[in-house]
Amino acid sequence: MPTVLAYTSPATGHAFPLVPGLKALRARGHSVALRTAPELLDAITAAGLDAGPLDPRVASIPVDDHLAEGGRQRLTKGFERLLSRGEHEREDLARAIVETRPDALLVDCIAYGAAVEAERSGLPWAMTLPSLLPLPGAGIPPYGLGLAPFRGPLGRLRDRAGWKLVERLYSQAMLPRLNELRVGAGLPELASPIDNMHRPDRVLVLTGEPLEYPRRDLPAQVRMLGSQCWDPPAAEPEWLCEPGDPWVLVTCSTEYQGDEALAAAAIEALREEPVRVVVTLGDASAAGLPSAANARCERFVPHGPVLRRAAAVVCHGGMGITEKAIAAGVPLVAVPFGRDQPEVARRVLEAGVGVRLAPRHLTPGRLRAAVREATALGAGLRPLEPGALDARAERFAAAAEELLAPRGAQPSSRASSTRERTSSLA
Protein backbone atom coordinates (compact mmCIF):
# COMPACT_ATOMS: atom_id res chain seq x y z
CA MET A 1 0.00 0.00 0.00
CA PRO A 2 1.66 3.29 -1.08
CA THR A 3 2.08 5.92 1.65
CA VAL A 4 1.68 9.66 1.15
CA LEU A 5 3.00 12.03 3.82
CA ALA A 6 1.53 15.54 3.98
CA TYR A 7 3.22 18.37 5.89
CA THR A 8 1.56 21.72 6.58
CA SER A 9 2.44 25.00 8.21
CA PRO A 10 0.68 25.65 11.56
CA ALA A 11 -2.00 27.76 9.82
CA THR A 12 -5.55 26.40 9.97
CA GLY A 13 -6.25 27.76 6.49
CA HIS A 14 -3.41 25.66 5.10
CA ALA A 15 -4.33 22.42 6.89
CA PHE A 16 -8.12 22.14 6.68
CA PRO A 17 -8.31 22.45 2.86
CA LEU A 18 -6.20 19.26 2.60
CA VAL A 19 -8.68 17.14 4.54
CA PRO A 20 -11.19 16.33 1.74
CA GLY A 21 -8.45 15.38 -0.72
CA LEU A 22 -6.51 13.32 1.81
CA LYS A 23 -9.68 11.45 2.75
CA ALA A 24 -10.35 10.76 -0.93
CA LEU A 25 -6.76 9.55 -1.32
CA ARG A 26 -7.17 7.21 1.64
CA ALA A 27 -10.46 5.90 0.19
CA ARG A 28 -8.52 4.90 -2.93
CA GLY A 29 -6.48 2.50 -0.83
CA HIS A 30 -3.46 4.63 0.04
CA SER A 31 -1.96 5.12 3.47
CA VAL A 32 -2.01 8.81 4.40
CA ALA A 33 -0.05 10.52 7.18
CA LEU A 34 -0.26 14.20 8.09
CA ARG A 35 1.90 16.50 10.20
CA THR A 36 0.19 19.71 11.29
CA ALA A 37 -0.42 22.11 14.19
CA PRO A 38 -1.07 20.34 17.52
CA GLU A 39 -4.30 22.23 18.17
CA LEU A 40 -5.79 20.91 14.92
CA LEU A 41 -5.12 17.24 15.59
CA ASP A 42 -8.37 16.38 17.38
CA ALA A 43 -10.51 17.71 14.55
CA ILE A 44 -8.43 16.07 11.83
CA THR A 45 -8.11 12.70 13.51
CA ALA A 46 -11.87 12.76 14.16
CA ALA A 47 -12.25 13.03 10.38
CA GLY A 48 -10.46 9.68 10.10
CA LEU A 49 -6.94 10.76 9.14
CA ASP A 50 -3.67 9.68 10.74
CA ALA A 51 -2.21 12.97 11.98
CA GLY A 52 0.69 13.90 14.21
CA PRO A 53 1.99 17.20 15.61
CA LEU A 54 4.58 19.47 14.11
CA ASP A 55 7.79 20.04 16.02
CA PRO A 56 6.81 22.53 18.76
CA ARG A 57 9.64 24.80 17.64
CA VAL A 58 7.86 25.34 14.32
CA ALA A 59 4.54 26.33 15.83
CA SER A 60 6.22 28.52 18.44
CA ILE A 61 7.37 31.06 15.82
CA PRO A 62 4.44 33.39 15.12
CA VAL A 63 3.87 35.27 11.88
CA ASP A 64 3.56 38.77 13.36
CA ASP A 65 3.76 40.76 10.14
CA HIS A 66 0.80 42.86 11.32
CA LEU A 67 3.28 44.74 13.54
CA ALA A 68 5.17 46.04 10.52
CA GLU A 69 4.72 49.53 9.11
CA GLY A 70 3.72 49.60 5.46
CA GLY A 71 3.23 46.92 2.85
CA ARG A 72 6.88 46.39 1.92
CA GLN A 73 8.02 45.99 5.52
CA ARG A 74 5.08 43.67 6.12
CA LEU A 75 6.16 41.48 3.22
CA THR A 76 9.73 41.33 4.50
CA LYS A 77 8.72 40.61 8.09
CA GLY A 78 6.27 37.89 7.00
CA PHE A 79 8.93 36.01 5.06
CA GLU A 80 11.47 36.55 7.83
CA ARG A 81 9.19 34.78 10.30
CA LEU A 82 8.16 31.98 7.93
CA LEU A 83 11.74 31.28 6.92
CA SER A 84 12.97 31.37 10.51
CA ARG A 85 11.00 28.13 10.91
CA GLY A 86 13.01 26.60 8.10
CA GLU A 87 15.66 24.52 9.89
CA HIS A 88 13.11 23.20 12.36
CA GLU A 89 10.81 22.21 9.48
CA ARG A 90 13.67 20.48 7.68
CA GLU A 91 14.52 18.39 10.75
CA ASP A 92 10.84 17.73 11.47
CA LEU A 93 10.05 16.47 7.98
CA ALA A 94 13.22 14.35 7.92
CA ARG A 95 12.05 12.63 11.14
CA ALA A 96 8.56 12.13 9.73
CA ILE A 97 10.03 10.53 6.60
CA VAL A 98 11.96 8.05 8.74
CA GLU A 99 8.85 7.31 10.82
CA THR A 100 6.35 6.89 7.95
CA ARG A 101 8.58 5.74 5.05
CA PRO A 102 6.44 7.54 2.47
CA ASP A 103 6.40 6.97 -1.27
CA ALA A 104 5.50 10.62 -1.95
CA LEU A 105 5.29 13.94 -0.12
CA LEU A 106 2.80 16.81 -0.09
CA VAL A 107 4.29 20.00 1.37
CA ASP A 108 2.53 23.26 2.17
CA CYS A 109 3.58 26.25 0.08
CA ILE A 110 4.67 28.34 3.08
CA ALA A 111 6.54 25.53 4.85
CA TYR A 112 9.75 26.59 3.11
CA GLY A 113 12.13 24.48 5.17
CA ALA A 114 10.00 21.38 4.64
CA ALA A 115 9.99 22.04 0.90
CA VAL A 116 13.79 22.20 0.92
CA GLU A 117 13.92 18.87 2.76
CA ALA A 118 11.39 17.35 0.35
CA GLU A 119 13.57 18.28 -2.61
CA ARG A 120 16.70 17.06 -0.84
CA SER A 121 15.05 13.71 -0.01
CA GLY A 122 14.75 12.70 -3.66
CA LEU A 123 11.17 11.51 -3.09
CA PRO A 124 8.43 12.56 -5.51
CA TRP A 125 6.74 15.59 -4.00
CA ALA A 126 4.06 18.19 -4.60
CA MET A 127 3.59 21.68 -3.25
CA THR A 128 0.05 22.30 -1.96
CA LEU A 129 -1.18 25.84 -2.53
CA PRO A 130 -4.49 26.81 -0.86
CA SER A 131 -4.37 30.26 -2.44
CA LEU A 132 -4.14 31.95 -5.82
CA LEU A 133 -1.43 30.80 -8.21
CA PRO A 134 1.38 33.43 -8.04
CA LEU A 135 2.89 32.67 -11.47
CA PRO A 136 3.09 34.96 -14.48
CA GLY A 137 1.07 34.15 -17.57
CA ALA A 138 -0.51 35.75 -20.59
CA GLY A 139 -3.07 38.31 -19.45
CA ILE A 140 -2.39 37.67 -15.73
CA PRO A 141 -1.87 40.88 -13.71
CA PRO A 142 1.18 40.98 -11.41
CA TYR A 143 0.46 38.97 -8.29
CA GLY A 144 -0.20 40.71 -4.99
CA LEU A 145 -0.76 44.24 -6.25
CA GLY A 146 -4.54 43.90 -6.54
CA LEU A 147 -4.61 45.19 -10.13
CA ALA A 148 -7.45 44.56 -12.55
CA PRO A 149 -6.78 42.69 -15.81
CA PHE A 150 -5.73 45.12 -18.53
CA ARG A 151 -5.82 43.94 -22.14
CA GLY A 152 -4.03 45.10 -25.28
CA PRO A 153 -0.47 46.42 -25.77
CA LEU A 154 -0.67 48.79 -22.79
CA GLY A 155 -1.88 45.96 -20.61
CA ARG A 156 1.01 43.73 -21.64
CA LEU A 157 3.43 46.57 -20.95
CA ARG A 158 1.93 47.20 -17.50
CA ASP A 159 1.94 43.50 -16.63
CA ARG A 160 5.53 43.04 -17.77
CA ALA A 161 6.70 45.94 -15.63
CA GLY A 162 4.51 44.86 -12.72
CA TRP A 163 5.80 41.29 -12.69
CA LYS A 164 9.38 42.55 -12.72
CA LEU A 165 8.57 44.73 -9.71
CA VAL A 166 6.92 41.80 -7.90
CA GLU A 167 9.89 39.56 -8.67
CA ARG A 168 12.30 42.16 -7.29
CA LEU A 169 10.29 42.72 -4.08
CA TYR A 170 9.90 39.00 -3.38
CA SER A 171 13.54 38.34 -4.23
CA GLN A 172 14.66 40.88 -1.63
CA ALA A 173 12.20 39.59 0.98
CA MET A 174 12.70 35.83 0.69
CA LEU A 175 15.65 34.73 -1.43
CA PRO A 176 18.61 35.41 0.91
CA ARG A 177 17.26 33.25 3.74
CA LEU A 178 15.70 30.67 1.41
CA ASN A 179 18.99 30.22 -0.42
CA GLU A 180 20.79 29.79 2.91
CA LEU A 181 18.44 26.90 3.64
CA ARG A 182 18.98 25.43 0.20
CA VAL A 183 22.76 25.65 0.33
CA GLY A 184 22.74 24.11 3.80
CA ALA A 185 20.80 21.17 2.33
CA GLY A 186 23.20 20.80 -0.59
CA LEU A 187 20.78 22.28 -3.13
CA PRO A 188 21.54 24.99 -5.70
CA GLU A 189 20.55 28.58 -5.05
CA LEU A 190 17.53 30.03 -6.81
CA ALA A 191 17.85 33.07 -9.06
CA SER A 192 14.21 34.09 -8.66
CA PRO A 193 11.36 33.43 -6.22
CA ILE A 194 9.35 32.23 -9.21
CA ASP A 195 11.81 29.34 -9.59
CA ASN A 196 10.63 28.07 -6.20
CA MET A 197 7.33 27.09 -7.85
CA HIS A 198 9.20 24.98 -10.40
CA ARG A 199 11.06 22.76 -7.94
CA PRO A 200 8.25 20.28 -7.04
CA ASP A 201 7.10 17.49 -9.32
CA ARG A 202 3.59 18.89 -8.98
CA VAL A 203 1.94 22.07 -7.73
CA LEU A 204 -1.56 21.32 -6.45
CA VAL A 205 -3.53 24.58 -6.55
CA LEU A 206 -6.59 24.41 -4.29
CA THR A 207 -8.42 27.22 -6.05
CA GLY A 208 -10.11 27.71 -9.39
CA GLU A 209 -13.04 29.51 -10.93
CA PRO A 210 -14.31 32.10 -10.32
CA LEU A 211 -11.29 33.56 -8.46
CA GLU A 212 -8.56 32.29 -10.77
CA TYR A 213 -8.19 34.16 -14.05
CA PRO A 214 -8.32 31.90 -17.14
CA ARG A 215 -4.86 30.67 -18.14
CA ARG A 216 -3.71 29.15 -21.40
CA ASP A 217 -0.04 28.66 -20.54
CA LEU A 218 0.11 26.69 -17.28
CA PRO A 219 3.43 24.94 -16.55
CA ALA A 220 3.18 21.19 -17.03
CA GLN A 221 3.39 20.33 -13.34
CA VAL A 222 0.54 22.62 -12.17
CA ARG A 223 -2.86 21.11 -11.40
CA MET A 224 -5.80 23.47 -10.83
CA LEU A 225 -8.11 21.50 -8.55
CA GLY A 226 -10.75 23.97 -7.33
CA SER A 227 -11.40 25.08 -3.76
CA GLN A 228 -11.40 22.37 -1.10
CA CYS A 229 -13.72 23.61 1.66
CA TRP A 230 -13.76 21.77 4.97
CA ASP A 231 -14.62 22.55 8.56
CA PRO A 232 -14.86 20.12 11.48
CA PRO A 233 -18.43 18.92 11.98
CA ALA A 234 -20.11 20.92 14.73
CA ALA A 235 -23.60 21.29 16.15
CA GLU A 236 -25.59 24.34 15.15
CA PRO A 237 -25.89 26.80 18.05
CA GLU A 238 -29.46 27.18 19.27
CA TRP A 239 -29.36 30.97 18.88
CA LEU A 240 -28.51 30.58 15.21
CA CYS A 241 -31.71 28.64 14.54
CA GLU A 242 -34.03 31.23 16.11
CA PRO A 243 -36.33 33.01 13.63
CA GLY A 244 -35.45 36.58 12.72
CA ASP A 245 -33.56 38.74 10.27
CA PRO A 246 -30.90 37.21 8.02
CA TRP A 247 -27.39 36.97 9.38
CA VAL A 248 -24.25 38.80 8.34
CA LEU A 249 -21.13 36.80 9.16
CA VAL A 250 -18.10 38.92 10.09
CA THR A 251 -14.82 37.03 10.36
CA CYS A 252 -11.35 37.91 11.56
CA SER A 253 -8.31 36.03 10.32
CA THR A 254 -7.62 32.59 11.82
CA GLU A 255 -3.91 33.52 11.76
CA TYR A 256 -3.84 36.68 13.87
CA GLN A 257 -3.18 39.89 11.97
CA GLY A 258 -4.62 42.61 14.18
CA ASP A 259 -7.89 43.05 12.30
CA GLU A 260 -10.10 43.92 15.29
CA ALA A 261 -10.90 47.19 13.48
CA LEU A 262 -12.95 45.18 11.01
CA ALA A 263 -15.09 43.68 13.77
CA ALA A 264 -15.60 47.07 15.43
CA ALA A 265 -16.57 48.81 12.18
CA ALA A 266 -18.99 46.04 11.25
CA ILE A 267 -20.85 46.18 14.57
CA GLU A 268 -21.20 49.96 14.28
CA ALA A 269 -22.11 49.82 10.59
CA LEU A 270 -24.89 47.26 10.94
CA ARG A 271 -26.44 48.13 14.30
CA GLU A 272 -29.51 49.77 12.66
CA GLU A 273 -29.69 47.46 9.61
CA PRO A 274 -32.37 44.73 9.26
CA VAL A 275 -29.84 41.96 9.91
CA ARG A 276 -28.34 39.99 12.75
CA VAL A 277 -24.57 40.04 13.04
CA VAL A 278 -22.25 37.32 14.29
CA VAL A 279 -18.57 38.14 14.61
CA THR A 280 -16.11 35.24 14.78
CA LEU A 281 -12.95 36.53 16.41
CA GLY A 282 -10.52 33.63 16.20
CA ASP A 283 -7.43 34.95 18.00
CA ALA A 284 -8.53 38.59 17.77
CA SER A 285 -9.33 40.41 20.99
CA ALA A 286 -12.88 41.27 22.03
CA ALA A 287 -11.63 44.01 24.35
CA GLY A 288 -12.92 47.41 23.36
CA LEU A 289 -15.39 46.19 20.75
CA PRO A 290 -18.72 48.03 20.71
CA SER A 291 -21.96 46.25 21.50
CA ALA A 292 -25.25 46.29 19.61
CA ALA A 293 -28.62 44.68 20.16
CA ASN A 294 -28.39 42.77 16.86
CA ALA A 295 -24.75 41.65 17.19
CA ARG A 296 -22.92 38.93 19.05
CA CYS A 297 -19.23 38.05 19.22
CA GLU A 298 -18.03 34.46 19.38
CA ARG A 299 -14.54 33.00 19.45
CA PHE A 300 -15.59 30.34 16.94
CA VAL A 301 -18.80 29.37 15.18
CA PRO A 302 -18.99 26.72 12.42
CA HIS A 303 -19.25 28.71 9.23
CA GLY A 304 -21.42 26.27 7.31
CA PRO A 305 -24.61 26.70 9.37
CA VAL A 306 -24.19 30.50 9.41
CA LEU A 307 -23.64 30.69 5.65
CA ARG A 308 -26.86 28.78 5.03
CA ARG A 309 -28.69 31.65 6.74
CA ALA A 310 -26.48 34.57 5.69
CA ALA A 311 -27.23 37.55 3.48
CA ALA A 312 -23.56 38.57 3.29
CA VAL A 313 -20.07 37.93 4.64
CA VAL A 314 -17.71 40.67 5.81
CA CYS A 315 -14.13 39.41 5.97
CA HIS A 316 -10.45 40.22 5.54
CA GLY A 317 -10.23 38.43 2.18
CA GLY A 318 -8.67 35.23 3.51
CA MET A 319 -8.94 32.33 1.08
CA GLY A 320 -10.77 30.02 3.47
CA ILE A 321 -13.80 32.16 4.23
CA THR A 322 -13.84 33.60 0.71
CA GLU A 323 -14.04 30.16 -0.90
CA LYS A 324 -16.67 28.99 1.61
CA ALA A 325 -18.87 32.01 0.92
CA ILE A 326 -18.59 31.50 -2.85
CA ALA A 327 -19.44 27.80 -2.46
CA ALA A 328 -22.51 28.78 -0.43
CA GLY A 329 -23.59 31.48 -2.91
CA VAL A 330 -23.21 34.25 -0.33
CA PRO A 331 -21.83 37.66 -1.44
CA LEU A 332 -18.78 39.13 0.26
CA VAL A 333 -17.33 42.40 1.42
CA ALA A 334 -13.55 41.91 1.39
CA VAL A 335 -11.42 44.33 3.45
CA PRO A 336 -7.83 43.16 2.79
CA PHE A 337 -5.26 43.83 5.50
CA GLY A 338 -2.20 42.16 3.94
CA ARG A 339 -0.59 38.88 2.82
CA ASP A 340 -2.48 37.51 -0.22
CA GLN A 341 -5.65 39.40 0.72
CA PRO A 342 -5.35 42.41 -1.66
CA GLU A 343 -5.15 39.98 -4.56
CA VAL A 344 -8.08 37.91 -3.25
CA ALA A 345 -10.20 41.05 -2.78
CA ARG A 346 -9.52 42.11 -6.37
CA ARG A 347 -10.58 38.67 -7.63
CA VAL A 348 -13.78 38.87 -5.55
CA LEU A 349 -14.60 42.14 -7.27
CA GLU A 350 -13.69 40.93 -10.76
CA ALA A 351 -15.69 37.72 -10.35
CA GLY A 352 -18.82 39.63 -9.35
CA VAL A 353 -19.19 37.72 -6.08
CA GLY A 354 -18.73 40.70 -3.80
CA VAL A 355 -17.21 44.12 -3.29
CA ARG A 356 -13.86 45.39 -2.09
CA LEU A 357 -13.21 48.04 0.55
CA ALA A 358 -9.68 49.26 1.22
CA PRO A 359 -8.67 49.24 4.92
CA ARG A 360 -7.76 52.94 4.75
CA HIS A 361 -11.41 53.61 3.82
CA LEU A 362 -12.82 51.40 6.58
CA THR A 363 -15.47 53.44 8.38
CA PRO A 364 -18.89 52.32 9.60
CA GLY A 365 -20.62 54.40 6.92
CA ARG A 366 -18.57 53.05 4.04
CA LEU A 367 -18.81 49.50 5.33
CA ARG A 368 -22.58 49.82 5.65
CA ALA A 369 -22.80 50.95 2.02
CA ALA A 370 -20.52 48.09 0.95
CA VAL A 371 -22.68 45.50 2.74
CA ARG A 372 -25.79 46.88 1.05
CA GLU A 373 -24.05 46.73 -2.33
CA ALA A 374 -22.89 43.17 -1.72
CA THR A 375 -26.29 42.02 -0.50
CA ALA A 376 -27.82 43.24 -3.74
CA LEU A 377 -25.56 40.82 -5.61
CA GLY A 378 -26.96 37.87 -3.70
CA ALA A 379 -29.91 37.29 -6.01
CA GLY A 380 -27.53 36.46 -8.86
CA LEU A 381 -25.33 34.02 -6.92
CA ARG A 382 -25.93 30.32 -6.55
CA PRO A 383 -24.36 27.72 -4.26
CA LEU A 384 -22.29 24.94 -5.74
CA GLU A 385 -24.15 21.96 -7.13
CA PRO A 386 -24.41 18.97 -4.77
CA GLY A 387 -21.36 16.78 -5.13
CA ALA A 388 -19.11 19.51 -6.55
CA LEU A 389 -16.81 19.56 -3.53
CA ASP A 390 -16.58 15.75 -3.55
CA ALA A 391 -15.59 15.87 -7.21
CA ARG A 392 -12.83 18.37 -6.39
CA ALA A 393 -11.54 16.11 -3.62
CA GLU A 394 -11.34 13.28 -6.15
CA ARG A 395 -9.35 15.53 -8.49
CA PHE A 396 -6.96 16.23 -5.62
CA ALA A 397 -6.53 12.51 -4.99
CA ALA A 398 -5.96 11.80 -8.68
CA ALA A 399 -3.32 14.54 -8.88
CA ALA A 400 -1.55 13.24 -5.77
CA GLU A 401 -1.55 9.73 -7.28
CA GLU A 402 0.46 11.06 -10.22
CA LEU A 403 3.39 11.29 -7.81
CA LEU A 404 3.23 7.52 -7.40
CA ALA A 405 3.73 6.88 -11.10
CA PRO A 406 7.22 5.97 -12.34
CA ARG A 407 9.42 9.06 -12.06
CA GLY A 408 10.12 9.12 -15.79
CA ALA A 409 6.41 9.46 -16.50
CA GLN A 410 6.17 12.72 -14.58
CA PRO A 411 6.71 16.03 -16.33
CA SER A 412 9.95 17.61 -15.24
CA SER A 413 10.05 21.39 -15.06
CA ARG A 414 13.34 21.92 -13.26
CA ALA A 415 15.58 21.98 -16.28
CA SER A 416 13.34 24.48 -18.03
CA SER A 417 12.35 26.61 -15.06
CA THR A 418 14.77 29.45 -15.88
CA ARG A 419 13.69 29.45 -19.50
CA GLU A 420 9.99 29.52 -18.57
CA ARG A 421 10.52 32.27 -16.00
CA THR A 422 12.48 34.41 -18.44
CA SER A 423 10.01 34.02 -21.30
CA SER A 424 7.02 34.72 -19.08
CA LEU A 425 8.53 37.98 -17.83
CA ALA A 426 10.02 39.16 -21.11
List, for residues 385-405, the tens digit of each pLDDT value: 989 999 999 999 999 999 998
CATH for the 3-230+388-425 domain, from 3.40.50.720, 3.30.70.1060, 3.40.30.10, 3.40.50.2000: 3.40.50.2000
Mean pLDDT of the chain: 90
- Rounded CA separation 31/159 (Å): 43
Q: Tell me, what's the pLDDT at 367?
A: 97
- Rounded CA separation 342/354 (Å): 14
pLDDT band at 307 (very low <50, low <70, confident <90, very high): very high
What lies within 8 Å, CB to CB, of 94 at 6+ separation is 117, 121
- Rounded CA separation 25/32 (Å): 7
pLDDT band at 413 (very low <50, low <70, confident <90, very high): very low
Q: What number is the average pLDDT over the span 5-31?
A: 96
Q: Tell me, what's the pLDDT at 408?
A: 58
Position with higher pLDDT, 6 vs 151: 6
Render pLDDT for 228-245 as a digit per residue (tens, 0 to 9). 999 998 888 999 999 999
For residues 246 and 276, the answer to whether their CB atoms sit within 8 Å is yes
Closest CA to 201 of 389, 403, 399, 347: 403
**At the fourth CATH level, which superfamily is domain 238-380?**
Glycogen Phosphorylase B; (3.40.50.2000)
Q: Looking at the predicted structure, is the pLDDT value of residue 422 above 60?
A: no
Q: 238-380: same fold as 3-230+388-425?
A: yes
- Rounded CA separation 55/49 (Å): 19
pLDDT band at 417 (very low <50, low <70, confident <90, very high): very low
Closest CA to 204 of 4, 59, 426: 4
- Rounded CA separation 314/361 (Å): 15
Sequence spans of domains, the chain = 3-230+388-425, 238-380
- Rounded CA separation 262/319 (Å): 17
Q: Tell me, what's the pLDDT at 295?
A: 95
Position with higher pLDDT, 64 vs 398: 398
Give the SS3 label for residue 117. Answer: helix
Give the SS3 label for residue 31. Answer: strand
Q: Looking at the predicted structure, is the pLDDT value of residue 157 above 70?
A: yes
Q: What is the DSSP letter of 340?
A: T
Q: Tell me, what's the pLDDT at 418?
A: 36
Q: Tell me, what's the pLDDT at 371?
A: 97
Q: Looking at the predicted structure, is the pLDDT value of residue 45 above 90?
A: yes
- Rounded CA separation 55/113 (Å): 13
Q: Looking at the predicted structure, is the pLDDT value of residue 216 above 60?
A: yes
C-alpha 246: how far from chain center: 28
Q: Tell me, what's the pLDDT at 415?
A: 39
Q: Looking at the predicted structure, is the pLDDT value of residue 160 above 90?
A: yes
Q: Tell me, what's the pLDDT at 407?
A: 63
- Rounded CA separation 130/303 (Å): 18
- Rounded CA separation 249/281 (Å): 11
- Rounded CA separation 322/315 (Å): 8
Q: What number is the average pLDDT over the span 130-144?
A: 94
Position with higher pLDDT, 88 vs 420: 88
Least confident of 87-96, 197-206, 343-352, 401-410: 401-410
Q: What is the pTM of this model?
A: 0.91
Q: What number is the average pLDDT over the span 148-166?
A: 94
Render pLDDT for 251-270 as a digit per residue (tens, 0 to 9). 987 776 677 889 999 999 99
pLDDT band at 339 (very low <50, low <70, confident <90, very high): confident
